[in-house]
Chain A
Amino acid sequence: MNYFVIVDVTLREGIADPEGATIERALPALGFTGVTNVHAGKSFRLTVDAPSEAEALERATSLAERLLSNPVIEDSVARLG
């Protein structure tokens, strides 16, 4: 069975996010006000062939921790797409 999984990778709390900060600073110039706490991250879309939803998520979580993210500075979350 194929499961579509989305893995989000974001910088951990307290780790500097120069991309997010730069985007946030640019927003007022475009007329977007009142937008704060902008954080940049990555999103990966995967198709996982697994016997169950739980196992598909487990595999995606495992590969996210091993490859898609660097646990020293990033958190990852796998969810069904």
Chain B
Amino acid sequence: MTRIGVVIFPGSNCEYDALAGVTELGATADFVWHTETDLSGYDGIILPGGFAHGDYLRPGALARFSPVMDAIARFSADGGAVLGICNGFQVLTEAGLLPGALQKNRGLTFVCQPTTLIVGSTRSVLTAAATRGQELVVPINHFSGAYTCSDETLAELERDDRIVLRYKDNPNGSRADIAGVANAAGNVVGLMPHPERAMSTLLGSADGRILLTSFVTATVTTS
């Protein structure tokens, strides 16, 4: 059975939701404290939402120096599946494992609402089970979620089919409506929306299951 580690930084707050999400989809999951340096035995790693290290300086700026980040860099270089959700996405960009940066939202507005996402690419551990062009309703909940990158990076992302999710109606000023991107190999993905909060129609949407099913399945095939 696939085993997923959910990293907890001081200030993470979505770790239980992420753990429950992948567990419901058949994975075994447990928490990984941010000082951990050994990720052997894990098939996939999730960096959950929250405010790692209080988001002091910039979201993710201090978390990238947590000991677990070196281990995650090695894990991902070996092909391991890594998913950063919201604050986890910010941490992955600060750590240089994903390109670009997340800035304060356009208009300095905190956004907390369901959003419609369009699957831009299925070449990633997060979107393999979806279809290109598919619309998914997944909530967002952030202040610094405006994706920013250079012209060169944007061209590279588009050319290499790495923009995995785009907003249908851009809620935060993200460049090119980007909601989530992957690394070149497709095994590291970050997104601002919260798929772990879209696990049941009773709570508004079950579309997050498609994304997390991709991730859980991917960890089986990469391990």
What residues of A have a CB within 8 angstroms of the CB of B150 in the complex? 72
Is B106 a contact of A73 with CB atoms below 8 Å?
A: no
Interface size on B, residues (CB 8 A): 20
CB-CB under 8 A for A72 and B149, given A15-B103, A16-B103, A67-B57: yes
Counting chain B CB atoms within 10 Å of each CB, which of A19, A22, A68, A72 scores highest? A72
What residues of B have a CB within 8 angstroms of the CB of A31 in the complex? none
Indicate if A70 sits at the interface (CB-CB under 8 A): yes
Is A70 a contact of B107 with CB atoms below 8 Å?
A: no
Interface size on A, residues (CB 8 A): 10
Indicate if A18 sits at the interface (CB-CB under 8 A): yes
How many inter-chain residue pairs (CB < 8 Å) link A and B? 36
Which partner residue on chain A sits nearest B60 by CB separation?
A70
Is A16 a contact of B108 with CB atoms below 8 Å?
A: no
Indicate if B114 sits at the interface (CB-CB under 8 A): no
With the chains together, A18 CA to B107 CA distance in Å?
6
Indicate if B100 sits at the interface (CB-CB under 8 A): yes
Is B104 a contact of A18 with CB atoms below 8 Å?
A: yes
Is B105 a contact of A72 with CB atoms below 8 Å?
A: no
Within 8 A of A (CB), among B82-110: 93-94, 99-101, 103-108
Which residue of A16, A18, A68 is within 8 Å of B57 (Cβ)? A68
Is A18 a contact of B105 with CB atoms below 8 Å?
A: yes
What residues of A have a CB within 8 angstroms of the CB of B58 in the complex? 70
Is A72 a contact of B93 with CB atoms below 8 Å?
A: yes
Which partner residue on chain B sits nearest A66 by CB separation?
B65
Is B94 a contact of A70 with CB atoms below 8 Å?
A: yes
What residues of A have a CB within 8 angstroms of the CB of B72 in the complex? none
B150 to chain A, nearest CB (A): 8
Within 8 A of A (CB), among B18-36: none
Is A70 a contact of B173 with CB atoms below 8 Å?
A: no
Indicate if B148 sits at the interface (CB-CB under 8 A): yes
* Interface positions of B (Cβ within 8 A of A): 57-58, 61, 65, 93-94, 99-101, 103-108, 146, 148-150, 173
Contacts A18-B173, A22-B108 supplied; 4 other A-B pairs, CB < 8 Å: A18-B106, A18-B108, A22-B107, A72-B100
